[in-house]
Structure 1
Amino acid sequence: MKDWLMITLLTVIMVLNFLDVLSDLELGVPRWHIIQETLLVTLSALGALYIGTDLLNRTRKIRQLANQLKRADTRICNISSRMQAARQEYTQAVQQQFELWSLTRSEQEVALLLLKGLSFKEISGVRSTKEKTVRQQASSIYTKAGVDGRHSFCAWFMEDFIQPAPESNAQAA
């Protein structure tokens, strides 16, 4: 929203300065003043174009990321019934743990996206929030979970699922 406001503001400045340049040409204003205002028109147009292009690129990337997440969920749904049952149990265990930690609904959403491996920037794009908000929510999640960061948070959920390899006969001897 802030980007569209900036684009609109720059466009308004550009149009008003352009009209002023036309008016100044008719009034015979000194050339240096015309050049200065023409430069403002040009810079406003370039700024609006840059911000607009950046906004479109970020929007496209966010849509691509959302589609990738949907495709990943579809691929996961095409797994065996045994794996689906395990996935469902794991999802329930994760949700129960989130409730034990008293994570808010927003924190739960961020926590799930963290577990899926998304960056703060990607999460903010998917959730249409500021990256700073996601960082604050992640910090709150880590505090409530009693871990010191993303890696520890993700490891907390994997630790009980990965069993150590059985010792080989050579090591036992």
Structure 2
Amino acid sequence: MSAGAWRKARWPRAVRARLGVLSVFIALQAVAVAFFIGDVVVDIMVDSMSGSLVQHTVIEAIATLALLMGVSLGAYEIWQTLARTRRAERALQLASGAFSDLVRQRFDFWGLTDAEREVALLTLKGFDAPEIGRLRQVANGTVRAQLARIYAKSESNGRGQFVSLFLDDLLETPLQEAR
């Protein structure tokens, strides 16, 4: 992910808050690294005047290098995680769009009316007949009659089989890819 894409990313508030906290910690760690590097440089200069490198300075230099590597690798991993998250979100958007296309194509193929399309979509979303009736402000009998026509046109014998017509398509690709 480029710096421009990073700035344009529209992360949810919770993600932005976590990124803010992580950024603060990384900045504090970077300040600590700078401090320890300065301290090691001063210690080396003092040790060189005495003609020997003190064991404490060597250990401090190694610890500073480890801290620098930890901060660098941590920042890199956060950056990579954000890039993977962005790619996953994009893939989810594409899949959602593909599912919407599939639903539209099936509804067209079955020749569903606008009212039947609405009822079928609400059924796919998990609403039952009384809920659909309340949402659409129609009688339960009307919804049941529309559902019966939808099931007949889709050649399914009820709600479960109707929903499974769409789930089968969603599950088919990953199963084939896993083989």
TM-score by length of 2: 0.47
TM-score by length of 1: 0.49
Which protein, 1 or 2, shows the higher relative CO under an 8 Å CA cutoff with sep ≥ 6? 1
Tell which structure's C-alpha radius of gyration is larger: 2
